[in-house]
A and B are shown apart, each in its own frame.
Chain A
Amino acid sequence: MATEITSDVVTSALPASAEENEVRRNAFQRLLRDPQAVITGSIILVFIVLGLLANVIPAHGPNEVVLSATNAPPGTEGYPLGADATGRDILSRLLHSINTAMVAGIIGAGIALIIGMTLGLIGGYFDRFRTPVEWGATIIQTFPGLLLLIVLMPLTGGDYRWTMAIFGVLLTPGIYRIVRNQTVGVSRELYVDAARVSGVTDFRILGRHILSVVRGPVIVATTFLFGSAIGTQAGLAFLGVGSKEIPSFGSMISDGFRNLYIAPSQYIWPAVALGVLNGAFVLFGNALRDTFEGARPKAEKIEATAVVEGFAADDVADSGQLVQVRDLGIAYRSPGGHLNEVVRGVDLEIRMGETLGLVGESGSGKTQTAFGVLGVLPAEAIVTRGSVRLEGRELLGMSQADLNRLRGSSIAYIPQEPMANLDPVYTVGRQLVEGIMASTQVSKAAAKERALELLGRVGIPDPARTFGAYPHEISGGMAQRVLIAGAIAPKPKLLIADEPTTALDVTVQADILDLLRDLQAEMGMGIILVTHNFGVVADICDRLAVMQQGEIVESGTTVEVFANPQHSYTKMLLNSILDEETIRTDPPMAAAGAREGAR
């Protein structure tokens, strides 16, 4: 029962021991292939080895004072890097400083790791301890860390090891938060529940399932903390906290800095050593993170959809339709640079006042097609071929400014998740006014009046109240009405609705469809309705197009296709409708009445 889970790929925890080892080995191999990891890792190793040889390489001890060697220049016999103002061998002090730095790192990062891990596992796994532990972490974070290290000098006696131990405690919240968040995530997984139900003790679950998941991010964080501890120790030694007997980068920099006018090179050795060591730890941590946690979302410029190099829209005869999509191809680039088409040669036509249902399973390319027509595909997408025309005007390759003008007047969009599509920090009214003012050149007062009128039109009972409400203060059905109001504000000719009812309650769904139908009758616009629900299609669509794996496999009038589906995929989708009742062919008013009667 209690199977091992993969450790290093947090997002895809596969319950198989063999695969765990596989993944772990892969992570290690990837690390070995990453030049940044290899170079910085080697630098750290070289430093460690040099530190271990601190008593072997130099001819003098780190605190051995030879008055005749005072401020000896580099290259002096027995003093390869020279000697400092009190006649101590700089090379010897430098190598011993490496050991001080490493011990500081081990103590600081080690203590943060042990305490942070323990608290994180406890706070993340046992609900009852979460609040007190969280409080503790917040308190520690509030300590002005470095000031405290200095204020507590009477307690530590300036011993850098004690100072680093306290510093480790101050670093604890960093590790704690990572471990807690990961633990909370994992402990809600089904396999952990299963283990718990089948009587595996909490202790074993923590050790076996959860520890292995948090390991990756914790190793990464520890690397950064190690660098941070080294830097802080150097800083404190620079200030003079700590024994003068202990050689350290910080005290060496301080000595050299004071001697700047006499021997300007003395501070350079420890400064470079500290900079390189610190940098190696940070870059090594970065490389580890890339390996363990995978690539993060990249920054991309948001603009009109990209087209392939040398793209020219297909030159097709204008059919006089409202929208004419010919041979549309949309692709995404694979990591290897290869283009994978997700929409492959789609043809669509919509007349004014007509509703076209674009049907298919998730992943069939229907939303991509809709976004392609709207010109709001993700930045990674690229149009490979075809033509999209609105009243004869080619949209593909159109400039961002022209597209904006068109969006504010002719094309509109209703999204799937109403809540996610309203900006949480502005009131509903402000967002509507912003859209109206962007599309029509009216005054703010006129835009507000229009917004209130629209809110009333889409069936919101108290427009003024909703106008002043924040998105989190209204229901999902209300939010969808608000979004419809925003979409129809410029009286568009084409409305693209992407699963407009999927996220809503069943009773609200029918109301929203009725509203769309009424608005269409009033404004005469064409609608592309993206959906996976044949019930919705039967309810509102004049024609439909069925998509599978990026291609349209069947299209025709709704009545035709429902009566006589040709393609096996269409038949399969039609058969998967569970409830015959959801296929309504009667007019909406009667349907609404039937619903009332059913209650």
Chain B
Amino acid sequence: MTYALPLNKILVAFSGNSHDGCSYRTTLLQDLFDLDAQDAQENILKDLCWRTRYYECSFDLYIDEFEDFEEWLTELCLQEFDELREVLAGIIVVADYDPEHEGKDIILQKFANCLGQGSFNVWCNTKVISEEKGLDANYILHEENTEAEMVEIQCEKDINEYGEKLGLKRLKEIIDIHEWDGVLMPSCQIKFPK
């Protein structure tokens, strides 16, 4: 028999640079998790509730800031943080993403693999992407059993030509479809919000 904590913690990490991640802290936390301005300044928030039209579940929020993402990620992957990674449902990184940056693929790859299968790894890009750069506004890096997804938080549209949600809406959807521990998926009683 294994005793384990449920994987019900979301780690959100903002870039410490005032021009990108950090300045989004309050609004993003408010919009995404429905926090008030004061809570949004906390580092640990317990027993929050994630609600969808099909289920609700309680979760904890860990909020961090970093100067250098690569260094922060390396630290998170150290053995001493094993116990922390084991209870994370997912990680949301809020920072500029530079598609020109050399070695970006390796960083994303590392990010995708830092938690186990079944978790979500989202990079909220705070940089405005120009259309002609051709960066797919809906990019997922697929690894063996994990993936890292790019969400363009500055995206003007909230739905693309394929009916796929973009920006904050997609971020919400990623958390919605996460298979939370303890939430038994098929209840199959349709509750249509009128």
Whether A and B are associated in the same complex: the answer reads no
